[in-house]
Amino acid sequence: MSASYKAVGWNRQKKIYDGLIFAFCVVYLLIFCGLTLVFNPEVTFETLLIRSSSTLAVLLLHIILSIGPLCRINKKFLPLLYNRRHLGVTMFCVALVHGGFGIIQFHTLGNTSPFLSLFTSNTRYGSLADFPFQALGFFALLIFFLMAITSHDFWLHNLSPRVWKTLHMFVYLAYVLIIMHVMLGVIQYETNPVFVLILFIGAITLILLHLYAGSMEVKKDNIYFGLQKKGFVKVCTINDIEENRAKMFCVDKERIAVFKTEGKLFAINNVCKHQNGPLGEGKIVDGCITCPWHGYQYLPKNGQSPPPFKERVSTYDLEIEGADIWLNPVPYPEGTERPGVIF
Ligand code: HEM
Ligand code: FES
């Protein structure tokens, strides 16, 4: 969270997360190399290195891209989201081994510089069968590099969340580049078609997950609130919300989270200032609304992060009639104190 930027230390959760990533990579590499040596004992060390790292990077990329929609579908996946950036940096490092070694093996033996050779050794850009597919891998790697070096909150703070988020959305372009890199490469290298099959299944799974999670969001956003009076709409009853939790409502295109805590209800904007996380899916910890994605906090009464932090979200008015909660979707300026309602 930003007051002036302060680095967050390695906590126990991060260490466990990183340990699991490391163990996963080691186990994958052992299985991949073992199986390759069994079924293709003539394989060279270079090919083993290039293929084990490339397939591991692609697997990690699929996991990274699945985490977002999985968390929208089921909150149990939220711990995976907490340090997804570590997974991203790991994926970049593994892809760098593959790309770097590919450049060394195929582009350092001639007179031209390796990077020039990458783009000029094959210039059949008009041919599908002979397309210089390595250039596509290079651009994907470049995107992963930019994402990896800006992944820290220091850059999020300095670039602004909007610029940072836009930059990180390029991961989808990189994904398309990788699909083309592999498809066009396989045509030329006659690598095992099993890679293509796995990639195809992976791409379909990702598309379905994103569509399903997206449709759930659209459904939530399109709920029609029939009962209205003087700018307020009836959203739910008091018992529909658990203590120290919230329910999210989308009214007039405003996503609003209504929190219940210690006999009072408060309404704040649902969208976290860090990376647009859904505050309404978080809970109140130590009196603060805590974002379920990376733990940014906001005070229920005014939508402000507790000092010295500076994030602010809009607040809204609520009313209670019997057991019913009524919400006014007109936002107050970010950080405006509202008394909440007693129930
Ligand atoms: C400078 C960047 C890159 C270069 C020069 C490069 C080069 C290559 C080459 C030469 C092959 C064929 C290898 C063979 O089968 O003998 C290949 C295949 C492949 N590449 Fe890349 N690549 C780059 C970036 C990437 C990135 C960033 C990824 C994924 C994150 C990736 C994933 C793959 C996959 C999955 C295959 C098919 C499996 C394999 O044959 O290894 N590549 N690449
Ligand atoms: S989105 Fe990261 S803390 Fe809310």
pLDDT digits (tens, 9 = 90+) for 165-208: 899 999 999 999 999 999 898 777 766 677 888 899 999 999 99
CB count, 10 Å around CB of 218? 10
133 Cα: distance to centroid of ligand 1 (angstroms): 9
Average pLDDT of the residues in 251-256: 91
124 Cα: distance to centroid of ligand 1 (angstroms): 18
188 Cα: distance to centroid of ligand 1 (angstroms): 12
The last residue of one of the domains, among 220, 242, 262, is: 220
Residue 277 CA: which ligand 2 atom is closest?
Answer: 1
Same domain, 64 and 135: yes
pLDDT at 156: 82
pLDDT at 252: 87
Tell me which of 59-68, 94-103, 200-209, 305-314 is least confident: 305-314
Same domain, 161 and 236: no
Nearest CA to ligand 2 atom 2: 294
Q: Kindly tell me if the per-residue pLDDT of 3 is higher than 50.
A: no
296 Cα: distance to centroid of ligand 2 (angstroms): 6
The last residue of one of the domains, among 220, 238, 256, is: 220
pLDDT at 4: 47
Domain hosting residue 286, numbered range = 228-342
pLDDT at 160: 81
Q: Give the model confidence (pLDDT) of 299-310 as tens digits.
A: 999 999 998 888
Q: How confident is the model at residue 162 (pLDDT cuts 50, 70, 90)?
A: confident
Average pLDDT of the residues in 112-141: 92
Question: For ligand 1, is residue 52 a contact (CB within 6 Å)?
Answer: no
Average pLDDT of the residues in 50-69: 96
Residue 279 CA: which ligand 2 atom is closest?
Answer: 4
pLDDT at 195: 80
Three-class DSSP category at 309: coil
Average pLDDT of the residues in 119-131: 89
Return phi, psi of residue 241, to 5°.
-110, 130
Domain presence at residue 5: no
Question: For ligand 1, is residue 195 a contact (CB within 6 Å)?
Answer: yes
pLDDT at 5: 44
Domain presence at residue 2: no
Longest pairwise C-alpha distance within the chain: 82
Domain presence at residue 257: yes
User: Could you give the CA distance from residue 181 to residue 329 in angstroms, rounded to a whole number?
Assistant: 47
170 Cα: distance to centroid of ligand 1 (angstroms): 19
Task: Kindly identify the ligand whose nearest atom is closest to the C-alpha of 278.
Answer: 2
Q: Provide the domain count of the chain.
A: 2
Domain presence at residue 96: yes
pTM of the model: 0.85
CATH code of 241's domain: 2.102.10.10
CB count, 10 Å around CB of 276? 15
Q: Please, where are the H alpha helices in the chain?
A: 12-39, 45-73, 78-82, 84-107, 114-120, 133-149, 153-159, 161-169, 171-189, 194-221
First to last CA, the chain: 32
